[in-house]
Amino acid sequence: MTRKHKVPWPTPFLGLRGTTWANAPREVAAGITLAAMIIPLNIGFTQLAGLPPTAGLYAGIIPLVLFAILTSSRELVTSPDAPITALLAATLVAFAPVGDPLRLQFALAIALLSGLLFFVFWFFRLAFLANFLSRAVLAGFITGLGIEVFTNQVRRALGVAHAHGAGSGVEALAIQIQDTLGTTGYFSEVITLIQSIPHANWYSVAIGVGAFAIVRLMKRYTPKLPGSLVALIVMTVIVAVFGLDGKGVSVLGTIPSGLPTLAVPNVPLADYVRLFPAAMAVVAITLAEALLLVRAYDRKTGVKSDGGQVLFAYGVANVAGGLSGALVSGPSASRSAAMDDAGAGGQFPSLVAAAAIALVVIFFTDELAALPTAALAGIVASAVLKLVEVGEFREFWHMRRSEFWVAAVCAISVLALGPLQAVVIAFLLATIDLLRRAARPGTWVLRETADGSHFLPEEAGSAPDTSGLIVYRFGAPLYFANAGLFEEEVEGLITQATTPVKWLVLDTQAMVDIDTSGAEVLHQVLSRSAERGVTVAISRANASMAALLAQYHLLDLIGDNRLYPTNRHAIAAFRQEHE
């Protein structure tokens, strides 16, 4: 790598700038609040992924500390969150069942592989690839994950692992649907939910609904308080006081105490190839969400963060997580917003939160063992509601119907085929949508106003021109997908004009590139125009466009004297020649 393109090594502690002794009490209070949010949510997400609670708790220690030290963003908080955890849960189904010790090893391998991919993206400066995930694709993908996770948590709140004996008609229909679509994911979850309703433990249902209601009400009326922690404490006390654990309400159970230890995931190397799509999806979601959050907070605070260093920090955090038994970490909009509301001026609250969580896993795991799983389900269900982008879908429907259908197909793909297949479909849809737009760019004929002050763009062929001059603007690079449209429109403008065309001026301001297919078509257009006695001139071509025209030997047909800096210069030359 040349010195010019050398990747700078990250500068540590940039995220801690702004922390002073004067605001230390506020930062410590914000850190305790952050720990109060992380503990219940991280445990809830491990339940969603079918992993031991320690995987969520450990994610709030070493990965949180390393990210805080290495990130350049003062506001962004890393933690397991709903989209990535939902993706992880759906992926692990194909590798190991819930309760199998290998399930955790595969989850740690995904964290390790994701971290290594983050390093690749940082080293080769590939953060720009996040731009290829359109808003519609991301909204559809996240909505599908949100619906799946919410359904899963509703079933968990029923307090029934699996219901047998549900209506055979429903089960037969469900099996038929699964066989037709080749999936057992979301539809199987819905079937299990329906089967579970008659066998529900209503104490468990009440605990789950109560936790959900507390979180939603506190989010609305007391947003600065950690509603998830309050809900968990209240429901745990209710279960203990009324002895509901003896009436079928399940609790977490024994949680080993002590700090995490370092170990390489016990997964064969061949399985890393099978895990690669999941790790790639984790990186894609993190890229899209994290960089959007970083840009939003940069605009708000006026402090510029290095997106590449943020990716490096995610790489270190997830490699450390994979080696220390922690769940995959990604961007957390809710925790970042909570820190912003608490007035945190940097990453110091993350260090405080990590210390608090470390104390919990050393001294208070017995208390965590009494947490009701239904309450955790209610807390996670509330957290994933924000993933269901109803407002986004409504906006797409009213503003751009094609993006609505892209989002809808992505959401349905997540549910019908699974998130990994949906990632492929999402990229294909984004690519097809991009090519579709580029293949039909905006094209206009520019009409000079009567007073000559400016030009008015009109659709090609919308009105006849009797001057013998046509100024045509093509609104995109000329390449294989739209070259046919260019040729067709230019041909129509010349042959269908009511007055014989003498000059055709191509406004190339937007035509910033030409591939070989486009050059071939442009050559044909120039040759046919010359045969008809039509002079073709080029206006507003930048230096690179002029170089391309010369490289493709098109200037020989156009002539160096027919390149004009503006449309006004081209029109003046036409009038001078013909008047």
pLDDT band, residue 289 (cuts 50/70/90): confident
**With 90 as the cut, is the pLDDT of residue 424 above it?**
no
- Residue 166: the pLDDT is 39
Residue 79: per-residue pLDDT:
93
Whole-number pLDDT of residue 466: 66
Query: Which pLDDT does position 174 carry in this prediction?
Result: 47
Q: Residue 536 belongs to a domain with what CATH number? A: 3.30.750.24
The pLDDT value recorded for residue 173 is: 46
Length of the chain: 579
Asked whether residue 392 is assigned to any structural domain, the reply reads yes
Q: Which of 164, 158, 368 is nearest to 248 (CA)?
A: 158
Q: What is the pLDDT of residues 204-229, one digit of tens each?
A: 999 999 999 999 999 889 887 888 88
Cα separation values, 243 from 158, 235, 236, 514, Å: 18, 12, 10, 75
Distance CA 2, CA 372 (A): 57
pLDDT for the residue 345: 75
* Res 53: pLDDT: 95
* Banded pLDDT at 388 (limits 50, 70, 90): confident
- Check whether 499 has a pLDDT greater than 70: yes
Co-location of 466 and 423 in the same domain: no
At residue 43, the 3 state secondary structure works out as: helix
**Same domain, yes or no, for 413 and 449?**
no
Residues 6+ apart with CB under 8 A from 105: 96, 265, 266, 267
Q: What is the pLDDT of residue 177?
A: 46
Residue 14 lies in a domain: no
Residues 20-29 have pLDDT tens digits of 787 888 889 8
pLDDT band for 451, please (50, 70, 90 cuts): confident
Query: 453 and 343: one domain?
Result: no
Q: Which of 374, 405, 433 marks a domain boundary?
A: 433
> Same domain for 455 and 352?
no
Strand, coil or helix: 505: strand
Residues 480 and 565 in one domain: yes
Q: Does the pLDDT at position 462 exceed 80?
A: no
The least confident of 258-267, 285-294, 308-317 is: 285-294
CB atoms within 10 A of CB 301: 15
Mean pLDDT to the nearest integer, 358-364 = 95
Evaluate whether residue 264 is within a structural domain: no
Q: Among 76-85, 220-229, 315-324, name the most confident range.
A: 315-324
- Domain of 523 in residue numbering reads as 443-578
Residue range 247-259: average pLDDT? Answer: 91
Least confident of 147-161, 170-184, 241-255, 558-572: 170-184
Gap between the Cα atoms of 311 and 313, Å rounded = 5
Same domain, 385 and 453: no
Q: Is the pLDDT of residue 113 over 90?
A: yes
Say what the pLDDT of residue 465 is. Answer: 64
Please give the average per-residue pLDDT across 296-320, as a whole number.
88
Average pLDDT over residues 87-92: 88
pLDDT of residue 440: 87
Residue 165 lies in a domain: no
Per-residue confidence (pLDDT) for residue 210, from 0 to 100: 95
Does some domain include residue 130?
Answer: yes
The average confidence (pLDDT) of the chain is 86
Among 433, 456, 482, the domain-final residue is 433
pLDDT, mean of residues 150-175: 62
Which pLDDT band, with edges at 50, 70 and 90, does 296 fall under?
A: confident
Residue 164: which pLDDT band, with cuts at 50, 70 and 90?
Answer: very low
pLDDT-above-90 percentage for the chain: 48
Domain-embedded: residue 2: no
Query: Which of 184-193, 209-218, 438-447, 494-503 has the lowest average pLDDT?
Result: 184-193
Q: What is the pLDDT of residues 24-68, one digit of tens each?
A: 888 898 899 899 889 998 999 998 899 999 999 999 999 999 999
Find the mean pLDDT for residues 326-336: 89
pLDDT for residue 194: 85
Residue by residue, what is the 3-state secondary structure of 178-213?
HHHHCCCCHHHHHHHHHHHHHHCCHHHHHHHHHHHH
Q: Are residues 306 and 422 in the same domain?
A: yes
Q: Which has the closest alpha carbon to 61: 378, 356, 442, 429? A: 356
Please count the structural domains in the chain.
2
Instruction: Provide the phi-psi class of 157: left if phi over 0, else alpha when psi is between -120 and 50, else beta.
Output: alpha
pLDDT at position 185: 60
Tell me if 226 sits within 8 A of 239, measured CB to CB.
Answer: no
- Shared-domain flag, residues 51 and 115: yes
Q: Which pLDDT does position 163 carry in this prediction?
A: 39
One domain for residues 214 and 360: yes
Residue 6 covered by a domain: no
Q: Residue 181: pLDDT band by 50, 70, 90 thresholds?
A: very low
* pLDDT surpassing 90 at residue 279: yes
What does the pLDDT average to over 331-345? Answer: 79
- Banded pLDDT at 364 (limits 50, 70, 90): very high
Same domain flag for 335 and 424: yes
Asked if 407 and 482 sit in the same domain, the reply is: no
> Which tokens belong to 372?
């009701």
Write out pLDDT tens, residues 476-493.
Answer: 999 999 999 999 999 999
Same-domain check for residues 422 and 465: no
125 vs 451, higher pLDDT:
125
pTM of the model: 0.74
| pLDDT on residue 354 | 97
More confidently predicted of 339 and 273: 273
Average pLDDT over every residue of 342-357: 89
Asked which of 129-133, 335-339, 536-540 is least confident by mean pLDDT, the reply is 129-133
Report yes or no on 280 lying in a domain: yes
Last-in-domain residue among 433, 457, 492: 433
Q: Between residues 561 and 302, which one has the greater pLDDT?
A: 561
Q: How far apart are CA 390 and CA 374, in angstroms?
A: 26
